[in-house]
Structure 1
């Protein structure tokens, strides 16, 4: 009982209890800290692994991008080189294009001229054909007249050639033929192809026909020359 009354015993007891409590608290806190540290380390390990994975992936992507950039750079250099080469060739190419354009313009002009010439030639041929047809019509018209009055026969031979046959010149042989062959050229000109028997004045008569275009007078003059030739032969 005497020990209980001692005031120091109570304080010592309380101090001891406080010390025990603090140790237990420190011990408990140590365990909690250890668990927290382990969790933190584990979480940090996972985080670092994730960061490393992300960095590795990023590095691979960067490497791929750098390779792509390098490829684009090389391609750009190649294109720039090609452009420079083409730029150097450009004056020559432009000159060739201009020459071809000039040649094209000249060809177009020539084609247009040929077209115009063709049109004029067609018109001329048409006009000449019409004139030739008119001449043939006139020949047909005077055929009947001269057939009776001059004993003339007209035959169409060898295409556009006409044979003129005079008879009743030699009274001893009324059917004896005196002939000449005439053609009309592409230019619409009368031309004597042959004459049987030959007449000295035929070239002169042909020129007069071409100058006057008087075919009736030409036929009359030819018959007159045949008669004169016959009379001269008879007299001789």
Structure 2
């Protein structure tokens, strides 16, 4: 059934029906109205009234339905706009996710490399510590030999540094001391820190020690250098 949307048409229709009814009543004024005609007119009036009420109700329902459809259309438009915006952002989001995944992989590789480097460093340190311990044992043996024969004394100074003290260089004053300070660095290399009195050839002796690792010969050459320095000084 088609909906009646123009209420004026309904009004005109009702007015027209009322006019027809009036004419019928005027024409029947002089006649005897039978009961069947009266019932028919009454029934017709009730039918029209019911029809008008039904049309008005249908119009109201249609308006509500149109408003609901319009609201759905607006909501769909908003959601479509949001979806379009999300689709535009999606490639950037995916690219950002890929960048983070690549960055994570690089971090994992760096961590693994650091673990390997640390393991190598620990192994190297252990090897170096063992080598240093062996060197210290040799120094202790050399110390005992030189203490007995060359009046050498070795002392630990300033942490891990060693001071070597020679006596009996000056025969007029056997207790006069000639010293040098040595340390073993992190790489296990011998390094001369200082000597008193200074020896011009100490750098050369240090290089020879690093090349040959012969500490006994190094100590003997240092003592010879101190003796030569003492004799040269006394000569002048």
Q: TM-score, normalised by structure 2?
A: 0.69
Residue aligned with 1:124, SS: helix
Deviations 1:174-197 (A, max 9, x none): 110010000111111100011111
Residue of structure 1 in register with 2:91 after alignment: 91
Instruction: State the alpha-carbon separation in 2 of the partners of residues 137 and 223 from structure 1.
Output: 21
Whole-angstrom distance in 2 between the partners of 1:125 and 1:59:
94
Matched residue, 2:120: 120
Distance across 2 between alignment mates of 1:204 and 1:174: 27
Match of 1:105, SS state, is helix
Q: Take 1:168 and 1:65, find their aligned partners in 2: how far apart are those partners?
A: 121
User: Aligned in 2, Cα 1:69/1:118: closer, same or farther, shift over 3 Å?
Assistant: farther
Taking the TM superposition and a 5 Å limit, the aligned residue runs for 1:193-212 are: 193-212=193-212
Aligned to 1:224: 224
Task: Name structure 1 gaps, 5 residues minimum.
Answer: 1-32
Residue 235 of structure 1: aligned partner: 235
Q: CA deviation at 1:221?
A: 1.3
Aligned Cα RMSD in Å?
3.3
Q: How many residues align?
A: 202
**Alignment map for 1:13-162 (pairs within 5 Å):** 70-162=70-162
Partner Cα separation in structure 2 for residue 61 and residue 118 of structure 1:
80
Aligned residue in 1 for 2:16: none
Deviations 1:91-112 (A, max 9, x none): 2332333233323322332232
Q: Distance in 2 between matches of 1:157 and 1:197?
A: 18
**C-alpha spacing 1:90/1:211, structure 2 compared with 1 (3 Å):** same
Secondary structure of 1:168 counterpart: coil
State the 1:211 CA deviation: 0.9
After superposition, the C-alpha distances for 1:146-196 in whole angstroms (9 at most, x for unaligned) are 111110000100011100000011111011001000011111110001111
Q: Take 1:69 and 1:134, find their aligned partners in 2: how far apart are those partners?
A: 93
Match of 1:181 in 2: 181
Q: Give the whole-Å Cα distance in 2 for the aligned partners of 1:132 and 1:143.
A: 16
Instruction: Look up the match of 2:164.
Output: 164
Distance 2:61 2:126 in 1: 86
Structure 1 range deviating more: 169-178 or 96-105: 96-105
Unaligned 5+ runs, structure 2: 1-35
| Inter-partner Cα distance in structure 1 for 2:100 and 2:182 | 53
Q: 1:219 to 1:69 in 2, by over 3 A?
A: same
Bigger Rg over Cα: 1
Distance 1:148 1:201 in 2: 26
Provide the rounded CA distance (Å) in 2 between the counterparts of 1:228 and 1:67.
Answer: 116
